[in-house]
Amino acid sequence: MKMLTRRFVLGSGAMALGAWLVRPRYRAESAPGLSTKQGSSSDRTLSPDEAVRRGLAPRTELAPYSNAEVVPPAPETAPPPWKAIAPYGPGDEVAESWTVHALTGVQDGSSVVTLRHRSGSEAHLRLMRRGIVPIGVAQTAHLDLLLMNHARGGLPTDEFFARMVRGFAAVIDDHARKRPVPRLVLASLEAPPSHYC
């Protein structure tokens, strides 16, 4: 085990040294308007970062390192399920300056409702079919509304926002009792998987 560790350390050191040796170097004298009166500065080289700061090298944006494979978004399997959130439609007021701004098509068994405040701030709710154990901020007889804040239940929901979403769900539920949501619309939505809990 110790031998493997030494090999790893030596190999890593050799790779770092190799990367340092082949890194690009830029001459300070090639910068327009740059004074090079410091001794033999014509032989002085700049680090890549300094060269970028002085405009000698192009700035390159590197993507953050990730072990995960980049996966393109899933294609829509059904159009936006407006009938699932009836009587609401685009632009309808939900509560105190919040309106329904958009509804995406169904992707991976869910759709996203965007609520927008008149100030421009937005809130996103994942619309899914209600499972055995509802886990969203609010529910109807058929739907589960999950707040998309990437906290997986780890952050408390703002009380005003929770009341607003519950009121939104209550209106949808009341309307669905009078005019049931078509089964085909509900069939395109899936219940939240267990990892949402």
Q: What digits encode the pLDDT tens for the residues 23-44?
A: 454 444 444 444 444 444 444 5
**pLDDT score of 98:** 92
**pLDDT score of 168:** 95
**pLDDT score of 174:** 96
- With tokens 């929901």, the residue in question is 157
**pLDDT score of 50:** 67
- With tokens 């078509």, the residue in question is 182
**pLDDT score of 31:** 44
Ranges in the chain, pLDDT < 50:
1-4, 9, 17, 19-23, 25-43, 62-68, 197
**Average pLDDT of the residues of the chain:** 75
**pLDDT score of 72:** 62
